[in-house]
Structure 1
């Protein structure tokens, strides 16, 4: 990792390999339903996708957590499914049920879709608006879904518990499935590149469903695709760190970190932090990994969990975060207490 001078943005400096105390902190899904100001704006603007496509509103949502809590970073308010939407699938969010993509590629071909790349334009405008308002000590994170996770939605048309339709397709017709993965990968590189050009300082790849894959399939559909994205972004934007977050990777996490060459790796709440520190490449920045339910529980259990994570990663660059997204019923007071614990140094 290159030896970067201090940027004045602690989170960005950690992602570039520096150890900083107190540990910088942001939380996955920190802009969302646990915040009353988000719920009020969502009620005013309508559906979730309407909010994502309203650049001014999306910029406001992106900045809400940093205005309330003073986190060290903000993450773009958007959704991983804007990529399939841009590739030509119709996207809608059903109240109480989640996203729906049509036609699902279990019943249709990729060639039947007509790409609509301009559907991503509001996202780039949101990035520019946030970048103009962000303070000089804060880091702006962009993101995209990792190709495997995005493909599970494109194939099935919706989320599923075990990603069975997609895993069947990956085994039964790897050529057709590979075309889907390649299309997502190409689009993701371009999408993240345009976020970087619009003003983000670092990007994260979310692979929420990587834990459903066998080791061989994980190597093919997660590691190989992420490595390609990291390499291409590194060639184009060498100063922009990439965080890889393969949720559920478990014992495959060290191989993921080594082979993808991500600049930092996110670890979920199921990972023992002491094991992660020992197993991951030395000096690799890590991000995580407080259980979102521990944050809800609060009290001594929260204090103990935070202390354990901080001790585990005291010898390497560390970004404090949750092991997955903050939950809607998280008390605001618990988030404030978490910030105080982390910033005690």
Structure 2
């Protein structure tokens, strides 16, 4: 595949002196232009389902910073919303899904067409792609089944992850059934994003960390294996990036998956271990602690240099080990991008 995109060429095995850059949560509350647009949009869901506004949010960081990729502005909980759970976002609390799901909901979920229900998202993808320069890639995304299921089971953000593991042990058929449905619907959702114009897709498994090995394999690794294989079978040239946060050395089990092209390392992972054990198998992405971008300066640059030096001789995408926080000064992001461009 011939492309002008440094980001996509990295997944073809090309190594750049200055690696491609994009950031998780690069569009959002730390940008004043986002806050201004968000105030006009109404609710957060109104913003997500307005293709014109959501496309504008997706493109905002690329107008401000010298980035190589945009990531679709959406939310990982749009699939449960499309399945019929009522989704809302409460100020200073986060997402709320009502009511929490139970076994009686699964048959209705199986019948729901999430592609039809989320058509506005695909319109956003198409509109955004049309507004990108040829050398900029567009990344689609979804939440991994286990992470999405945790919100559906809890009715919102988790207070105690152990409660949900106990639910798996007590109601295995129910939780396995929910994971299976989310796996199938996520494949449909991501393929529709690709068909609308996404150049690559990323799966976020934010709550994979801390799971016992048999549970991790059951609710995280196996579903991501199924999703990535299905995407590669249908769209073989589209890179699939996995980001299971907090899994430590179990990252190797993800990197060995047949459909995994890229692996996002979180800020807790030893980058030297990642270089030695993962970088010959997949494209490594990320690693930098996002909190360093709040204070910026030498500490941020020294940490960035560590990743640039460790991964200088393999395909690598510079990114964070999780997303920007709202406290991040945009000028520090600009300084980080400029540092990577100068020192890569």
With the length of structure 2 as denominator, give the TM-score of the two structures.
0.96
Query: Which of 63, 68, 79 is the matching residue for 1:67?
Result: 63
Which whole-Å CA distance do the structure 2 matches of 1:170 and 1:123 have between them?
31
Match for residue 33 of structure 1 among 29, 33, 36:
29
Which residue, out of 149, 152, 164, partners 1:151? Answer: 149
Moved more, 217-226 or 8-17: 8-17
**Residues 162 and 212, structure 1, Cα contact 8 Å, conserved in 2:** no
Equivalent residues in 2 for 1:225-240, closer than 5 Å: 225-240=223-238
Shift of 1:281: 5.2
Q: Is the 8 A contact 1:283 1:316 kept in 2?
A: no
Deviation at 1:216, TM superposition (A): 1.1
Measured against aligned partners, the alpha-carbon deviations of 1:68-96 in whole angstroms (never above 9, x if no partner) come to 11310000000000011111111111111
What is the DSSP-based 3-state SS (H/G/I as helix, E as strand, rest coil) of the residue aligned with 1:74?
A: strand
State the shift of 1:105 in Å. Answer: 1.6
Give the aligned partner of residue 115 of structure 1.
112
Match of 1:96?
A: 92
Unpaired segments of 5 or more residues in structure 1?
Answer: none
Give the C-alpha shift of residue 260 in structure 1: 5.3
Equivalent residue in structure 2 for 1:320, among 304, 318, 331: 318
Give how far 1:269 is off.
Answer: 0.3
Equivalent pair of 1:89/1:103 in contact (CA under 8 Å): yes
Count of residues in correspondence between the two structures: 341
CA distance in 2, matches of 1:210, 1:310: 27
User: In the alignment, what sits opposite 1:224?
Assistant: 222
Which segments of 5 or more consecutive residues in structure 2 lack a partner in the other structure?
Answer: none
1:269 equivalent in structure 2: 267
How big is the shift at 1:11? 0.6
Q: Which residue of 1 aligns with 2:83?
A: 87
Pairing of 1:326-337 with structure 2 (within 5 A): 326-337=324-335
Query: Which residue in 2 is equivalent to 1:54?
Result: 50
After superposition, residues 175-324 of structure 1 pair within 5 angstroms as 175-259=173-257, 261-280=259-278, 282-324=280-322
Aligned structure 1 segments of 4 or more residues deviating by more than 4 angstroms: none
* Partner in structure 1 of residue 135 of structure 2: 137
Q: Name whichever of 8-17 and 189-198 sits farther off.
A: 8-17
How far the C-alpha of 1:16 sits from its partner, in A, is 3.0
Contact kept in structure 2, 1:17 and 1:283, CA below 8 Å: no
> Is the 1:26–1:321 Cα contact (8 Å) retained in structure 2?
yes
Q: Offset at 1:215?
A: 1.0
The 8 Å contact of residues 288 and 323 in structure 1, kept in 2 or not, is answered as: yes
What CA distance in whole angstroms lies between the structure 2 residues aligned with 1:281 and 1:41?
A: 39
Q: Which moved further from structure 2: 113-122 or 219-228?
A: 113-122
Distance 2:52 2:171 in 1: 43
Secondary structure of the residue aligned to 2:15 is coil
Query: What CA deviation, in whole Å up to 9, does each residue of 1:285-331 have, x standing for no partner?
Result: 10001101111121110111011111111121100000000111111
Q: Is the 8 A contact 1:23 1:318 kept in 2?
A: yes
Q: Which secondary structure state, in structure 2, belongs to the residue aligned with residue 32 of structure 1?
A: coil
Structure 1 residues 40-60: Cα deviation after superposition (integer angstroms, max 9, x where no partner) = 000011111110011100000
In structure 2, distance between residues paired with 1:202 and 1:335: 23
- 1:111 Cα deviation after fit: 2.9
